[in-house]
Amino acid sequence: RDDLPLAGRRVVITAGGTKEAIDPVRYLTNRSSGKMGYALAEAALAAGADVTLVAASKRPCSPAIRLVLAPSAKAMLAAVKKAMVGADAFIAAAAVSDFALAKPFDQKVKKTSPDAHLTLDLVQNPDILKTVGQQKQPGQVVVGFAAETENLLENAKKKLTSKGADLIVANDVLAPQAGFDKDSNQVTLVRADQAPVTVGPESKLAVAKKIIQELVRLLDQA
């Protein structure tokens, strides 16, 4: 049906900024609120999809969205792998920490002396989008984001290839009405076979609806 183009389709979406434990009371995170990923989940649901939203943070959403909370990159990867079995599409809107502590402290870290330094040993986290891109099954569509502060299109095109994505949503996070925690966004849709298309600035839900329209086209071609 034209009004429900994703009816019968299963879509998995990530949202929010992951939290990587330092000790039992502290963590490393970033400025992502989850608004973009939650808006995509609502837009996919409105298009008729069965939606699993793997989110690092909790926000209000339609009860018909299957919400799986996964605070860290490792937890998010495990939840995404499980949800992707038999899924038609993956959209990676989360801001996943590229690094985590090699070994989080078991107890709260204390100041030992007035001039004490603390060095954190960070190791690379798994790349969720790249993992899904590499394991892509025939007919599946993979959409990634690229949060950039410079060379937007160039970096987005690199991510298209390196992450095995069919579409990269390039987000200049320094643009005035775009990026982290804003209610609006402005993005450029980057595909290998088409000229880039700029969307917005407009509400994150309006931007999400246009990304979902592009996903519908990609699924029709897959």
Q: Does 34 interact with ligand PMT (rule: CB under 6 A)?
A: yes
3-state secondary structure the chain: CCCCCCCCCEEEEEECECCEEEECCEEECCCCCCHHHHHHHHHHHHCCCEEEEEECCCCCCCCCCEEEECCCHHHHHHHHHHHHCCCCEEEECCECCCEEECCCCCCCCCCCCCCCCCCCCEEECCCHHHHHHHCCCCCCEEEEEEEECCCHHHHHHHHHHHCCCCEEEEEECCCCCCCCCCCEEEEEEECCCCCCEEEEEEEHHHHHHHHHHHHHHHHHHC
- Confirm or reject binding of residue 171 to ligand PMT (CB under 6 A): yes
Can residue 90 be called a binding residue for ligand PMT (CB under 6 A)?
no
Among 40, 47, 70, 129, binds ligand PMT (CB under 6 A): 129
Q: Which is nearer to ligand PMT, 30 or 213 (CB)?
A: 30
Find the binder of ligand PMT among 6, 36, 43, 160 (CB under 6 A): 36
Q: Which is nearer to ligand PMT, 71 or 179 (CB)?
A: 179
Catalytic status, residue 30? yes
Q: How many residues bind ligand PMT (CB under 6 A)?
A: 29
Catalytic residue numbers?
30
Applying CB under 6 A, the residues found at the interface with ligand PMT are 14, 16, 32-36, 73, 92-96, 98, 125, 127-129, 144-147, 159, 163, 171, 173, 179-181
